[in-house]
Structure 1
Amino acid sequence: MRMTFIAVHAGAGTHINPLESLCAKAVKASNGDIVRAVKILEDDPSTNAGIGSNLTFDGRVECEAAFFSSNQTVFGAVGAVSRIRNPIVAAYKLAKEQSSAADKRLIVPSVLVSQGAEQWAQSEGVEMCEPDELIIERSLNEWKDAKLLIDRDSKQQLDTVGAVSVDVNGDCSAACSSGGIMLKRSGRLGHATQVGGAVWAEQKGSRSVAVSLSGCGEFIAKTCLSQRIAQGLLEREEDEDLMLNRVRNIFEKDFIHSTLLAFRSSKRLLAGGLVLIYDSNERSRELIAFHNTEHLPFAFGDATSVRKAFSKRTSLSPFIIHSFPSYFCDNPPGSTH
C-alpha cells in the first residue's frame, strides 16, 4: 500500500435519495484526509450533518462531531453546537491540541459542548456561522411534518455520516458528524461525544483498526460499540474467525443482545457503519461495511481508484455485512468473502 486508503459513509438509516455518489466525491476530493471528506458531507444539504441537519423539538440545529486518531490515541468531540459551520473541523482541532498536552499546565479537554465549544472554536479560527444558516427548507418542512405526526411510528433519520482511513505506516483515523435525530431535546448529546461510541482508532502491534458508526446514538454510546468492535479485532488470533464473522458476532452479542439494552425496544436497536483493518505483517487490508438499518451508502478507495455502494437490507436478511479485502504481496490469496 503506497498511499492513504479512505472509506466514507453517509449514514446507516433510511435514505430516499442514494448518497453513494456523494461519498465517492468525498473520497476523491479528500486526498486521504478524512476531515476533508467529512467536511464535504457536512457542506452538502442532503446529509444529516452540518447544513441541512435535523432540527430539535424547538426548531434549532444542534450538531456534533468526533475525530479519533491512533497516533498518540487522541480523541476530540464537540456537541450541541449551532454556530460552527463544520463541526468536524472543531473536533479535529480539539483532538490535535491533545498532542501537545504535555506542554500545557491545564488538562486539555477531549469534549466541549454548546457555547463553550463555539467560543473555543472561534478562538481557534474555525469558521463560524449564524444558526439559521444551517437550516434549509427541506429540514424545516420535515420538522413541521414531524411535529404534526409526532404520535405516528415514523421512520427516523439515524444517519450520522463518517469516515475511516489508514496509511502505509498503520496510522489510522476515524471521524463522524451528525445533526442528531429529528425532534431531539435541546442539549441532547449522541454517540459522537462518547469515547468508544461512534468512533475508535487504534494500532496494536502490526494491526490497526478504525471504526465509524451510525445509528441510534444512545444505544451505541451505552454499549461503547466502536471500542468493542475494535478491541475484538485487535485481539483476534490469526487462526480464529474471519474478521467479517467477528464483527457480526460482536454486533449480535454486545449490541443486539447486550444486557445493557435488555429493556429497550428491539425496533430501536439500529446501527451500522464501516470497519477498516490493516495488518502490516500479513500485508493485508480489509474494509467491512455492515448495518441492520434499511440502507448504508458508502464509498472507498485511494488516489488511484474509488468504488461506491448502496447497501440495502431485505426482509430475508435483517443484518447486512460486506467485506472488501486487499492483499499487498507477490502471491495474494485467492479467497474473498
Structure 2
Amino acid sequence: MSHAAVSPVLVIHGGAGVIKREMTPAREQAVRAAMSQALHDGYAQLKAGKSALDAVAVAIAVLEDDANFNAGRGAVFTHDGTNELDAAIMDGYTLRAGSVAGVRRIRNPILLARAVMEQSPHVMLSGDGAEAFAQSIGMPLVDPSYFRTDERWQQLQKALKEDAAKKPHADVETARHFGTVGAVALDAQGHLAAGTSTGGMTDKRWGRIGDSPIIGAGTYANSGCAVSGTGWGEFYMRTVAAHAICMKVTEMRVPLKRAAAEVINQDIPSMGGNGGAIALDAGGHISIPFNTDGMYRGWMGADGVAHVALYGDEDDGTAELPVPAPAESSAQP
C-alpha cells in the first residue's frame, strides 16, 4: 500500500496572556505582520522540501528578531536589569534535541539550541558555557545592549516599584507570561519538530529558568506529535506538559485536540497555572488550546494562506479545519 504524500503544516505562537483589544492599531498591525512573516518564511522551507526542523528554526528566528515578542530582541528584563534568554528545539523523527538557558549575548537562541543538538554531544547548555560553545562554532555574540528596549525596561521599573511596595504584580499575567514564541511543523516526509524561545519573566531572579528550554515541559516532539507551550512555566514543568500531551496522543491514542485540552485546560489550571500551547500530529491535525484572554497564534497549510489570530474571541480558523484523511484511504488499490 503506498501512502499519500503528506501536506506540510506549520503552526506558530507568540505567547499567551492578557491580550485584550487595547493595543494600538499600529502595534496590532506590527504583531500580525511579524506572525505572517514567520509563517511565510517557515512554510517556504517546507515547500522547498526542507525538514520540519528547518521550518521551526526559521519561523522562530523571525519572531526573535522582532521586539514585539518576549524572545530574542524583545526579551524582558530580570530583577538585576539583564536579559537572560532560553530556547529549545526537538526533532520528532530522531528524538534529538538541543537547548540553551540563561544566555545573554546570543541574537537567535533557537539557532544556538539547534547547534547544541547538531554540533555538540549534549542536549542542554547554559549561560557562559553556552556562549563559549557559540564562539567555538563561529556564532557571533552580540552586545547585551542589543536586547535593551525602552518598553521592556519600563515594565521592569514598574515591577520593581511593586516589589518595593510589597504589592503583588498588578499585571502579574502580563509581567510573567507574555510573549514566549514557538513553532511546530510537519514536513513532506511526515516528520515533526517543535521549538520554543523566550526571554522569561519580567523581574525574574536568581537565574530562574522556565519550561521553554526544558525538553518535555515547554518543548517536545516525537514521531506522532509536536508541542510548544506558552504560559506560567513552573506549572508546565510540574506537569511535563508537552510530553504529557504527546504521550496521550502516541501511547494512549487520544485524539490531539482532546489530549492538548486535557493538559492545558484541565491539569495546569487545576494546580493554579494558566497558558496555552500549539500542538500538531502526524496526520496534520492542529490544536491550539489556551485559557488566557488571548494568545498570539497562527498556522499555514496546503492553501498557502497565513492564518493569524490574537484575541480569545477571534476565530483562528482551527475549529473548521478539514480533518485530513488517513493516508491509507488515499492509497491506490
- TM-score normalised to the size of structure 2? 0.82
Distance 2:259 2:249 in 1: 7
Deviation at 1:254, TM superposition (A): 3.5
The 3 A distance-change label for structure 1 pair 236 and 168 is farther
Q: Could you report, residue by residue, the CA deviation over 1:136-183 in whole angstroms, capped at 9, with x for unpaired residues? A: 111112211221233243232412100000112221100010000100
Structure 2 residue 97 is the aligned partner of structure 1 residue 66: no
Q: Tell me which residue corresponds to 2:50.
A: none
Distance 2:102 2:63 in 1: 18
Q: Tell me which residue corresponds to 2:305.
A: 306
Deviation at 1:123, TM superposition (A): 1.2
Deviation at 1:307, TM superposition (A): 3.2
Q: Tell me which residue corresponds to 2:114.
A: 92
Q: Tell me which residue corresponds to 1:210.
A: 226
Contact kept, 8 Å, 1:289 with 1:323, in 2: the verdict is no
Distance 1:89 1:45 in 2: 17
Which of residues 12, 22, 26 in structure 1 aligns to 2:34? Answer: 22
Which of residues 123, 128, 132 in structure 2 aligns to 1:119? Answer: 132
2:73 maps to a residue whose letter is I
Structure 2 residue 14 is the aligned partner of structure 1 residue 10: yes
Q: Tell me which residue corresponds to 1:163.
A: 183
> What's the Cα RMSD here?
2.5
Which of residues 304, 321, 325 in structure 2 aligns to 1:324? Answer: 321
Deviation at 1:229, TM superposition (A): 0.3
Q: Tell me which residue corresponds to 1:103.
A: none
Q: Tell me which residue corresponds to 1:275.
A: 279
Which of the two has greater helix per residue? 2
Amino-acid identity (%): 26
The 3 A distance-change label for structure 1 pair 117 and 329 is closer
The 3 A distance-change label for structure 1 pair 28 and 233 is same
Deviation at 1:51, TM superposition (A): 0.8
Name stretches of at least 5 consecutive residues in structure 2 with no aligned partner. Answer: 47-54
Which of the two has greater strand per residue? 1
Contact kept, 8 Å, 2:40 with 2:306, in 1: the verdict is no
* Alignment coverage as a number of residue pairs: 297
Deviation at 1:36, TM superposition (A): 0.9
Q: Tell me which residue corresponds to 2:49.
A: none
The 3 A distance-change label for structure 1 pair 252 and 52 is closer
Distance 1:193 1:329 in 2: 33
Contact kept, 8 Å, 2:268 with 2:274, in 1: the verdict is no
Deviation at 1:186, TM superposition (A): 4.1
Look up the SS of the partner of 1:165 in the other structure.
strand
Q: Tell me which residue corresponds to 1:41.
A: 63
Look up the SS of the partner of 2:115 in the other structure.
helix
1:10 maps to a residue whose letter is G
Deviation at 1:97, TM superposition (A): 3.0
Distance 1:323 1:175 in 2: 25
2:242 maps to a residue whose letter is S
Q: Tell me which residue corresponds to 2:52.
A: none
Residues 114-193 of structure 1 correspond to what in structure 2 (within 5 A)?
Answer: 114-150=127-163, 151=167, 152-155=169-172, 156-158=175-177, 159-193=179-213
